[in-house]
Structure 1
């Protein structure tokens, strides 16, 4: 009787830990996006483009909208 309870506890703990870690990472990435304006600016400059603030804001808002759309799925 002790072994099935231990196995059940292990399975419940693994599933709970997985979903807790998944939720934590999603909320962290929503608050702290992996690409910042400075990173975007340096990427554009390395590609030979002169980024304006308007263009940077537009690209950041597009990325934010895409992330929100992906989060809804």
Structure 2
């Protein structure tokens, strides 16, 4: 697990904990859609980064090198 992936997982857990503690205890409604979309997007980015980290770094380096020319 990469450092970025660990950081994203920690951030997701912190958001989930904050949402649980901020919500009034008597309300047991659904999680808002924007929260689910945000968490799913962060998870997708973490998975893609873990799978394609070397290729993403190479693409970024190539893009910077071509911009410098």
| Bucket of the pairwise TM-score, normalised by the shorter protein | 0.3 to 0.5
Higher CA-based Rg:
1
Task: Tell me which of the two structures has the higher relative contact order, counting C-alpha pairs closer than 8 angstroms and 6 or more residues apart.
Answer: 2
